[in-house]
């Protein structure tokens, strides 16, 4: 079983992972080929939602993978209830974090326009 410290550390780490992976798979970034792979057909677009196309949806797949590896590495049994209690707040923090990041990016762009 996870301690509260492990739970919060996992939640924070998985959310950072998702936001970072989402950022580096956007167009023009280093892993944009991953996003392009999931945009080839309508079916691939739907499959790609929880992998790279939707920051909120990414919480499900990425948390199950990272939590699963964590459980394996620490000799814990995988608990679906704990996974669900990780995935739901991660979906929220991913969405909130990405929107805050985009807000500051937009503010920075406005400041640059006002300088010129």
pLDDT score for 106: 87
The model's pTM is 0.86
Given a cut of 90, is residue 110 above it in pLDDT?
A: no
A 10 A CB-CB count for 108 gives 10
* Mean pLDDT in residue range 52-72: 96
Residues 5-44: tens digit of each pLDDT: 999 999 999 999 999 999 999 999 999 999 999 999 999 9
Domain ranges, residue 9: 4-115
- The token pair at 86 is 């990780």
How many Å apart are CA 32 and CA 28, to the nearest integer?
6
Cα–Cα distance, 36 to 48 (Å, whole number):
10
Count structural domains, the chain. 1
pLDDT at 65 over 80: yes
In the structure encoding, which two tokens stand for residue 14, read together?
């998985």
**CB-CB contact of 90 with 63 (8 Å):** yes
């Amino acid at each position: 079983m996870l301690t509260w410290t492990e739970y919060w550390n996992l939640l924070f780490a998985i959310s950072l992972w998702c936001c970072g992976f989402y950022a580096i798979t956007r167009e023009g970034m280093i892993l944009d080929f991953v996003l392009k792979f999931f945009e080839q057909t309508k079916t691939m677009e739907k499959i790609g939602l929880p992998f790279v196309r939707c920051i909120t949806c990414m919480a499900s797949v990425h948390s199950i993978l990272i939590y699963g590896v964590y459980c394996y590495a620490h000799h814990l049994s995988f608990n679906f209830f704990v996974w669900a209690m990780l995935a739901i707040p991660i979906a929220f923090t991913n969405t909130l974090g990405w929107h805050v990041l985009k807000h500051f990016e937009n503010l920075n762009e406005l400041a640059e326009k006002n300088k010129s």
